Amino acid sequence: MLDFSSLLLAAALSGTCLSITLFAIWFTAPSARFIPTVACGMLVLVAHVVLFWRYTKDANPWLCHIVLALLSLGFLAICLSAMQYLGFRNYRRAVLPTLAAMAACAAFTYLGFDGIGFQITYTAVTVLLAAIGTMFWMKGDHDRRILLVVSFLSGACGVSFALCGLVLLVHGQWVLGAAPDNWAERVNSVVAVACMTGLGALALSLHHLQAQIELKAETMTDPLTGLMNRRALGELYGDRSFGPFMAIAMFDLDHFKATNDVFGHPVGDQVLCRFAAVIKKYGRAGVDAFRLGGEEFALVISRMTPEKAHDMASRIGVAFGTEIVPTHRGPLRSSVSGGMGFGAAVGRSLDEVLAEADAALYAAKRAGRNRVIAQHKEGQPDSGPALKTA
């Protein structure tokens, strides 16, 4: 037969080691805010396990209050860490029901119905673990293998706590006067040790995964404008075949060197950011914006006819022409030239479409700037006139 005390002590030792490891990692990467939250949750659970072991030796009513409260608080902290990692911000949805369950548990336990108190706490923990599993199952958009394992472990641990409460309910054990000791409690001790150890290890994996994602995002993002950069363009579309409903619009800010020379580079940076803000307003599914370098930008447009793609690029140019940047020499307005490159029914590569857009862009500059040009092809728009601005 399994030694119940040994199982509890094993759970406490495992949780302590994992908490120390997580805190050590957090000190080296303080931006990972979910790490200290899960570490604190595990430490609270360690305190629960130690006091529960003490409660098995001396069933003090006040100790029962503390043991049950720590169990709920520990899993609440772990649930909040999952919400932090996945980007959920409405923490009240987890905190308020848990606090309500803790209050109900304390009331029944104070009245002597400690069996009901254990059932309420086990139910609250089951719900929290189910919420963790569901959040990772539904919201996770990273490595699905890791996230599905997190969901499985949370679910398994939740089932073990549900069984503990169910056994007390079926046997009608409303008043215990001692720590519950049955087959479900022993199974729960084994499952909880295994699952919490696994979840702790997966927390490390999730931290590593998040660090990789953040690093990749940094290397693919232009730090000034927040748009994706040329590397990101190659990553996302380098292997794509551009069909008839795909296009690239290339933009180049007119006389940008003169803007820098006359008004200074800080004003030039403001102009770049203003254009980036304009181009972001047209972002939607199938439209991705990039800063290629300097004053050059690109817009990849999908699921749109050539005429509508050209119209969108022209509207971006018109909108940018209405932007005013205040300077020490007075208000500054700028314009932009654009060129369109289109996919084809047989498919075209990124380099081919970019080359066409680049050629059209230079044609727009030769034609007087402040316009978006599409090289004349059958079924595609002609060279555009100068853009009208307010």
Per-residue pLDDT band at 202 (split at 50, 70, 90): low
Q: At what angle do helices 256-263 and 265-281 cross, to 10 degrees?
A: 140
> Higher pLDDT residue, 333 or 380?
333
pLDDT mean across residues, the chain: 85
**pTM for this one?**
0.60
> Higher pLDDT residue, 2 or 40?
40
Q: How far is the C-alpha of 150 from the C-alpha of 195, rounded, in Å?
A: 9
For residue 386, list its beta bridge partners. 371
Range picked from 140-144, 152-156, 359-363 for highest mean pLDDT:
359-363
- The single residue of 218, 295, 296, 307 carrying the catalytic annotation is 295
> Higher pLDDT residue, 315 or 11?
315
> Higher pLDDT residue, 276 or 149?
276
Runs of H (alpha helix) within 322-368: 350-366
Q: Nearest 10 degrees: CA dihedral of 99, 101, 103, 106?
A: -130
Average pLDDT over residues 318-333: 91
> Higher pLDDT residue, 366 or 18?
366
Range picked from 137-146, 209-218, 338-347 for highest mean pLDDT:
338-347
pLDDT digit string, tens, across residues 220-276: 889 899 899 999 999 889 889 999 999 999 999 999 999 999 999 999 999 999 999
Torsion sign across C-alpha atoms 360, 365, 367, 369? positive
Q: How far is the C-alpha of 230 from the C-alpha of 351, rounded, in Å?
A: 12
Residue 157: per-residue pLDDT? 87
Give me the percent of the chain exceeding a pLDDT of 90.
Answer: 52
pLDDT digit string, tens, across residues 84-125: 888 888 899 999 999 999 999 999 999 999 999 999 999 999
Torsion sign across C-alpha atoms 214, 217, 223, 225? negative
pLDDT digit string, tens, across residues 3-35: 666 766 777 777 787 778 778 777 776 767 788
Structure tokens at 211: 């660090």
Known catalytic membership, residue 295? yes
Residue 283: per-residue pLDDT? 77
Q: How far is the C-alpha of 380 from the C-alpha of 123, rounded, in Å?
A: 64
